[in-house]
Copies of this chain bind each other. A is one copy, B any other.
Protein backbone atom coordinates (compact mmCIF):
# COMPACT_ATOMS: atom_id res chain seq x y z
CA UNK A 1 0.00 0.00 0.00
CA UNK A 2 2.88 2.36 0.70
CA UNK A 3 3.95 2.67 -2.90
CA UNK A 4 0.61 4.28 -3.63
CA UNK A 5 1.35 7.01 -1.09
CA UNK A 6 4.96 7.32 -2.13
CA UNK A 7 3.83 8.18 -5.65
CA UNK A 8 1.13 10.48 -4.37
CA UNK A 9 3.64 12.29 -2.18
CA UNK A 10 6.16 12.67 -4.95
CA UNK A 11 3.49 14.03 -7.28
CA UNK A 12 2.39 16.42 -4.55
CA UNK A 13 5.85 17.93 -4.93
CA UNK A 14 5.78 18.26 -8.70
CA UNK A 15 4.20 16.64 -11.76
CA UNK A 16 6.14 13.73 -13.20
CA UNK A 17 5.86 10.78 -15.57
CA UNK A 18 6.15 7.13 -14.68
CA UNK A 19 9.60 7.20 -16.17
CA UNK A 20 10.62 10.19 -14.05
CA UNK A 21 9.33 8.50 -10.93
CA UNK A 22 11.10 5.26 -11.79
CA UNK A 23 14.36 7.21 -12.02
CA UNK A 24 13.76 8.79 -8.65
CA UNK A 25 13.19 5.43 -7.03
CA UNK A 26 16.30 4.08 -8.62
CA UNK A 27 18.58 6.97 -7.76
CA UNK A 28 17.15 8.37 -4.55
CA UNK A 29 14.56 6.16 -2.90
CA UNK A 30 16.12 2.77 -3.53
CA UNK A 31 17.72 2.56 -0.12
CA UNK A 32 14.56 3.24 1.83
CA UNK A 33 11.72 2.07 -0.44
CA UNK A 34 12.67 0.24 -3.65
CA UNK A 35 10.19 0.00 -6.52
CA UNK A 36 10.52 -1.18 -10.10
CA UNK A 37 8.79 0.20 -13.14
CA UNK A 38 6.11 -2.48 -13.55
CA UNK A 39 4.74 -1.72 -10.13
CA UNK A 40 5.00 2.03 -10.59
CA UNK A 41 3.14 2.14 -13.91
CA UNK A 42 0.46 -0.15 -12.56
CA UNK A 43 -0.04 1.94 -9.46
CA UNK A 44 -0.14 5.18 -11.45
CA UNK A 45 -3.00 3.80 -13.52
CA UNK A 46 -4.86 2.81 -10.38
CA UNK A 47 -4.31 6.25 -8.86
CA UNK A 48 -5.61 7.88 -12.03
CA UNK A 49 -8.67 5.62 -12.04
CA UNK A 50 -9.31 6.63 -8.44
CA UNK A 51 -9.12 10.30 -9.42
CA UNK A 52 -6.20 11.00 -7.09
CA UNK A 53 -3.93 11.99 -9.95
CA UNK A 54 -4.62 13.08 -13.52
CA UNK A 55 -2.74 13.55 -16.74
CA UNK A 56 -1.00 16.90 -16.83
CA UNK A 57 0.37 16.62 -20.34
CA UNK A 58 1.51 14.07 -22.88
CA UNK A 59 4.88 14.11 -24.58
CA UNK A 60 6.87 12.25 -27.18
CA UNK A 61 7.16 8.45 -27.03
CA UNK A 62 3.86 8.12 -25.22
CA UNK A 63 5.18 10.03 -22.23
CA UNK A 64 2.41 10.84 -19.75
CA UNK A 65 3.07 13.46 -17.10
CA UNK A 66 0.80 13.11 -14.08
CA UNK A 67 -0.33 15.82 -11.71
CA UNK A 68 -1.90 15.34 -8.28
CA UNK A 69 -5.56 16.33 -7.86
CA UNK A 70 -7.15 18.01 -4.84
CA UNK A 71 -8.57 14.64 -3.85
CA UNK A 72 -5.07 13.20 -4.12
CA UNK A 73 -3.56 15.87 -1.93
CA UNK A 74 -6.27 15.29 0.66
CA UNK A 75 -5.65 11.54 0.55
CA UNK A 76 -1.91 12.01 1.02
CA UNK A 77 -2.54 14.22 4.02
CA UNK A 78 -5.01 11.72 5.43
CA UNK A 79 -2.43 8.99 5.11
CA UNK A 80 0.19 11.02 6.92
CA UNK A 81 -2.01 11.98 9.83
CA UNK A 82 -4.50 9.14 10.20
CA UNK A 83 -2.94 5.91 8.99
CA UNK A 84 -0.84 4.17 11.62
CA UNK A 85 2.87 4.11 10.91
CA UNK A 86 4.09 0.74 9.67
CA UNK A 87 7.39 0.22 11.45
CA UNK A 88 7.96 -3.22 9.98
CA UNK A 89 11.62 -3.77 9.22
CA UNK A 90 12.94 -6.73 7.27
CA UNK A 91 16.72 -6.72 7.42
CA UNK A 92 18.33 -9.73 5.86
CA UNK A 93 21.84 -8.75 6.98
CA UNK A 94 20.71 -8.79 10.60
CA UNK A 95 18.96 -12.09 10.14
CA UNK A 96 22.20 -13.49 8.78
CA UNK A 97 24.10 -12.24 11.78
CA UNK A 98 22.02 -14.53 13.95
CA UNK A 99 23.70 -17.43 12.21
CA UNK A 100 27.28 -16.18 12.13
CA UNK A 101 28.20 -19.02 14.47
CA UNK A 102 27.71 -21.40 11.54
CA UNK A 103 30.39 -19.65 9.47
CA UNK A 104 34.11 -20.28 9.31
CA UNK A 105 35.98 -17.42 11.05
CA UNK A 106 37.82 -16.35 7.90
CA UNK A 107 34.60 -16.21 5.88
CA UNK A 108 32.99 -14.19 8.63
CA UNK A 109 35.88 -11.74 8.78
CA UNK A 110 35.61 -11.11 5.04
CA UNK A 111 31.85 -10.83 5.27
CA UNK A 112 31.95 -8.25 8.05
CA UNK A 113 34.58 -6.20 6.25
CA UNK A 114 32.37 -6.09 3.17
CA UNK A 115 29.36 -5.16 5.27
CA UNK A 116 31.21 -2.32 6.97
CA UNK A 117 32.49 -1.01 3.65
CA UNK A 118 29.06 -1.09 2.07
CA UNK A 119 27.30 0.70 4.91
CA UNK A 120 30.05 3.27 5.30
CA UNK A 121 29.81 4.09 1.64
CA UNK A 122 26.04 4.30 1.74
CA UNK A 123 26.31 6.68 4.68
CA UNK A 124 28.83 8.77 2.77
CA UNK A 125 26.41 8.96 -0.13
CA UNK A 126 23.69 10.29 2.11
CA UNK A 127 26.13 12.73 3.68
CA UNK A 128 27.14 14.08 0.30
CA UNK A 129 23.49 14.56 -0.47
CA UNK A 130 23.02 16.36 2.84
CA UNK A 131 25.97 18.62 2.18
CA UNK A 132 24.51 19.58 -1.20
CA UNK A 133 21.18 20.39 0.38
CA UNK A 134 22.83 22.41 3.12
CA UNK A 135 24.88 24.15 0.47
CA UNK A 136 21.66 25.28 -1.15
CA UNK A 137 22.19 23.34 -4.37
CA UNK A 138 18.53 22.41 -4.42
CA UNK A 139 17.03 25.58 -2.98
CA UNK A 140 15.06 25.50 0.23
CA UNK A 141 11.51 24.63 -0.69
CA UNK A 142 9.47 22.76 1.93
CA UNK A 143 10.01 19.56 -0.05
CA UNK A 144 13.76 20.01 0.14
CA UNK A 145 13.58 20.63 3.86
CA UNK A 146 11.69 17.37 4.37
CA UNK A 147 14.11 15.52 2.18
CA UNK A 148 16.92 16.87 4.30
CA UNK A 149 15.25 15.24 7.33
CA UNK A 150 14.94 11.94 5.50
CA UNK A 151 18.56 12.08 4.45
CA UNK A 152 19.62 12.62 8.02
CA UNK A 153 17.85 9.39 8.91
CA UNK A 154 19.78 7.67 6.13
CA UNK A 155 23.07 8.99 7.43
CA UNK A 156 22.37 7.97 11.01
CA UNK A 157 21.01 4.57 10.03
CA UNK A 158 23.80 3.52 7.73
CA UNK A 159 26.46 4.88 10.05
CA UNK A 160 24.93 2.81 12.83
CA UNK A 161 25.18 -0.29 10.64
CA UNK A 162 28.75 0.53 9.64
CA UNK A 163 29.70 1.02 13.29
CA UNK A 164 28.04 -2.28 14.08
CA UNK A 165 29.87 -4.20 11.37
CA UNK A 166 33.17 -2.72 12.53
CA UNK A 167 32.43 -3.50 16.13
CA UNK A 168 31.45 -7.05 15.22
CA UNK A 169 34.91 -7.63 13.80
CA UNK A 170 36.37 -7.04 17.24
CA UNK A 171 34.22 -9.73 18.85
CA UNK A 172 36.27 -12.91 19.35
CA UNK A 173 34.97 -15.62 17.04
CA UNK A 174 33.26 -18.66 18.51
CA UNK A 175 34.66 -22.11 17.88
CA UNK A 176 33.61 -23.15 14.37
CA UNK A 177 30.66 -25.54 14.26
CA UNK A 178 29.64 -28.18 11.77
Binding site for B on A (CB under 8 A): 2, 5-6, 9, 12, 29, 31-34, 73, 76-77, 80-81, 85-104, 107, 111, 114-115, 118, 142-143, 145-150, 152-154, 156-157, 159-161, 163-164, 167-168, 171, 174-175, 177-178
Contacts and interface: CB of A to CB of B under 8 A. Distances in A.
Given A98-B146, A146-B174, A160-B156, A103 B91 contact: no
A115 B146 contact: no
Contact of A2 (B92, B147, B159): B92
A167 B152 contact: yes
A153 B97 contact: yes
7 contacts: A2-B95, A6-B98, A80-B100, A81-B104, A85-B111, A101-B142, A152-B167
Determine the main DSSP class of A at the interface with B.
helix
A56 B147 CA distance: 53
Nearest to A6: B95
Contacts of A73: 102, 178
Closest 9 CB pairs of A and B: A142-B174, A101-B142, A160-B160, A9-B99, A101-B146, A156-B160, A86-B92, A32-B94, A100-B146
